[in-house]
Amino acid sequence: QITLKESGPTLVKPTQTLTLTCTFSQFSLSTNGVVLAWIRQPPGKALEWLALIYWNDDKRYSPSLESRLTITRDAPKNQVVLTMTNMDPVDTATYYCAHTKAGRFFDYWGQGTLVTVSS
């Protein structure tokens, strides 16, 4: 059974950089066709796709946030890291990592981690 779990700070100050880690099991990000995603959801609002990282280390970002996002992988550790710079209170959200099927839809999700941006 594929599992994913997000970890990172629960509170960050405005202008700080957020670093989130997704630790996964029962698959390898080195396997052809595997793609992982980050998605967020502000409290009471809809889901927003943020980034993808592919088995071949290709990366894709949401255009509206691309200048602030970096997604990287540590394949031997089965981890993917998302960094978001210049955090703002509007970035307060639950951040999810998800396994994607063919990079198209999200078939396994982590439990999510709530990040609050406040001074």
Partner 1 sequence: DIQMTQSPSSLSASVGDRVTITCRASQSISTYLNWYQQKPGKAPKLLIYAASSLQSGVPSRFSGSGSGTDFTLTISSLQPEDFATYYCQQSYNTLPYTFGQGTKLEIK
Could you say whether residue 71 binds partner 1 (CB under 8 A)? no
The C-alpha atoms of residue 111 and residue 18 are separated, in whole angstroms, by 18
Could you say whether residue 60 binds partner 1 (CB under 8 A)? yes
Could you say whether residue 112 binds partner 1 (CB under 8 A)? yes
Among 27, 49, 70, 116, contact with partner 1 (rule: CB under 8 A): 49
Residues that bind partner 1 (CB under 8 A): 46-49, 52, 60, 62-64, 96, 101, 103-107, 109-112
